[in-house]
């Protein structure tokens, strides 16, 4: 895949970029390794000052970078602005809290004595150079939610971004440099996917994190396992959205639309499978379908647009194949199910609701990465939970109910990294984010995320020595 900005509203290539050659990659690896040895000795206060400066620059440049993101991958401009603001918020959050999140841990004194020590504590130390392999769908946020905690922990970063968002990738490398971070502290590698393995195998790289497709996750995990390096993987999702009779159906249906078409439907944590109790299925379906059909598809630079194009031509093709397969096997498109009339250019697809989805249809088990929702009618909560878990993925989940017993059962039994009750899944710096099953492993954000790329080191001192 060429490294290029291709406007998804027209399909036209706007800019192309040369990939780094071996010498260019080597220079960046050398800079990263050299900087890692020094940067780990900086204080939390020093790192925080730099990260806050990066947040200030990002806030001042929000409109420009938002337009760059929209141009490169098609998200509505308002959503791009919100993404930039969220990134600045995460930077400030980690700048304020990293020191306390990584504070030394002191075991109970009785346990220390039992271990034969005068003192014992656990300290968190950075691993060093971390490679981040990032996707195009949230081209700023996916990177910052790794970079902010990693930099505050004293690590340095190498970014291999998706090849269709090179301008956003270059902006990120320059942002941290302009904020005053030492040279080599955070660098963008304009390389293709085939070059990732060599970088990951390089002994100067300590660990890797990847957000992306399941095949990409397998490839990175396989290489990292071969060279025994830590990885964090956030992969696909096919999140359930369970609606029970006690729910506020009007609100559940309205929120369901946003939950499905956020980012033009191209979000791992977007609700995709809508599992609705039979007593409220008809009302929910009517409200949900009408609202989906009423969405405005169009130019993502226009403020009135609800849903822009898919980011790539291949992505639209994959989505069309999933929908066409379901319809051939008996599913019904209650709305959408086609390219919108009048859009001769670009990679647009209508917001779509599919009813009658059954096992055996590809869309029942595969992730639909676009504005396509599947509906399921269930008799009770037990069937809803069974349906929710009947997927290889386990990223997040949603439940709409006023019944505390429903909440307890779903929290206990649904296999996912999160359960969001009476609201849609969202990420926040304070909350751990990640999945189970084939949605990956490890966690981003919160204290869990900042500790993923730290060495938890035990400091033990014998009882017959003076304490430090």
Residues identified as active-site = 234, 268
- The angle subtended at Cα 81 by Cα 253 and Cα 134, nearest 5°, is 90
| Cα 22 from Cα 248, distance rounded (Å) | 58
* Beta-strand pair 156-160/13-16: unpaired
Spatial separation of the C-alpha atoms in residues 339 and 353, rounded to whole Å: 14
Return the half-sphere exposure (C-beta side, CA atoms, 13 A cut-off) of residue 439. 25
402-405-408 Cα angle (round to 5): 105
Going by DSSP bridges, is the β-strand pair 271-277/372-378 parallel, antiparallel, or unpaired? parallel
SS3 324: helix
Sign of CA dihedral 392, 396, 398, 403: positive
Burial letters for 351-370: b for 16+ Cβ neighbours within 10 Å, e otherwise? bbbbbbbeeebebbebbbbb
Per the structure block, which two tokens stand in for 1? 């895949």
Locate 199 and state its tokens.
Answer: 């970088």
Return all residues near 20 (Cβ < 8 A) that are at least 6 apart: 28, 189, 190, 191, 195
Dihedral (CA of 73, 56, 128, 231) sign: negative
CB within 8 Å of 383: residues ≥ 6 apart = none
Picking from 366, 327, 333, 367, the residue whose alpha carbon sits closest to that of residue 350 is 333
Contact, 319 vs 349, CB < 8 A? yes
Q: Centre a 10 Å sphere on the Cβ of residue 349 and count the other Cβ atoms it contains.
A: 25
Supply 387's token pair.
Answer: 């349906």
d(CA 226, CA 343): 47
Round to whole Å and give the CA distance between 18 and 226: 30
Number of helices and strands (H, E) in the chain? 16, 17
The DSSP annotation for 231-293 comes to EEEE----EEEEE-TTS-HHHHHHHHHHHHHGGGG--TTSEEEEEEEHHHHHHHHHHHHHHHH
Assign 229 to helix, strand or coil: coil
Task: Give the three-state DSSP class for 182.
Answer: coil
């Amino acid at each position: 895949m060429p490294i290029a900005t291709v406007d998804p509203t027209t399909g036209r290539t706007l800019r192309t970029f040369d990939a780094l050659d071996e010498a260019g990659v080597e220079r960046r690896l050398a800079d990263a390794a050299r900087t890692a040895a020094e940067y780990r000795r900086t204080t939390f206060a020093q790192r925080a000052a730099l990260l806050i400066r990066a947040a200030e620059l990002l806030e001042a440049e929000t409109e420009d970078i938002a337009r760059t993101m929209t141009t490169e991958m098609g998200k509505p401009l308002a959503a791009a602005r919100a993404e930039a603001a969220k990134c600045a918020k995460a930077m400030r959050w980690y700048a304020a809290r990293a020191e306390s999140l990584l504070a030394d841990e002191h075991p109970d004194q009785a346990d220390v004595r039992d271990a034969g020590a005068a003192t014992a504590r656990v300290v968190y130390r950075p691993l060093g150079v971390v490679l981040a392999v990032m996707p195009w769908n949230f081209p700023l946020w996916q990177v910052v939610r790794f970079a902010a905690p990693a930099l505050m922990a004293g690590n340095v970063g190498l970014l291999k971004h998706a090849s269709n968002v090179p301008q956003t990738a270059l902006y990120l490398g320059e942002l941290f440099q302009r904020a005053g971070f030492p040279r080599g502290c955070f660098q963008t590698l304009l390389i293709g996917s085939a070059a990732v393995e060599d970088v990951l195998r390089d002994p100067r790289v300590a660990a890797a994190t990847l957000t992306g497709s399941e095949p990409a996750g397998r490839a990175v995990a396989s290489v990292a396992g071969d060279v025994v390096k830590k990885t964090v993987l956030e992969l696909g999702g096919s999140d359930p959205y369970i609606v029970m009779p006690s729910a506020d159906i009007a609100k559940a249906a309205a929120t369901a639309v946003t939950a499905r078409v956020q980012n033009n439907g191209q979000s791992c944590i977007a609700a995709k499978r809508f599992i609705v109790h039979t007593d409220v299925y008809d009302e929910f379906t009517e409200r949900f379908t009408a609202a989906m059909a009423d969405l405005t598809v169009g130019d993502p630079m226009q403020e009135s647009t609800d849903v822009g194009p898919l980011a790539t031509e291949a992505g639209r093709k994959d989505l069309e194949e999933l929908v066409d397969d379901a319809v051939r096997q008996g599913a019904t498109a209650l709305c959408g199910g086609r390219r919108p009339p009048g859009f001769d250019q670009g990679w647009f697809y209508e917001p779509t609701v599919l009813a009658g989805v059954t096992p055996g249809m590809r869309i029942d088990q595969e992730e639909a990465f676009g504005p396509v929702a599947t509906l399921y009618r269930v008799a009770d909560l037990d069937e809803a939970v069974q349906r929710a878990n009947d997927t290889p993925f386990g990223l997040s989940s949603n439940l709409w109910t006023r019944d505390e017993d429903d909440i307890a059962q779903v929290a206990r039994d649904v296999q996912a990294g999160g359960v969001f009750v009476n609201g849609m899944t969202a990420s926040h710096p304070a909350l751990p984010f990640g999945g189970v099953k084939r949605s990956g492993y490890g966690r981003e954000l919160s204290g869990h995320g900042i500790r993923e790329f730290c060495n938890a080191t035990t400091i033990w001192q014998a009882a017959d020595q003076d304490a430090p």
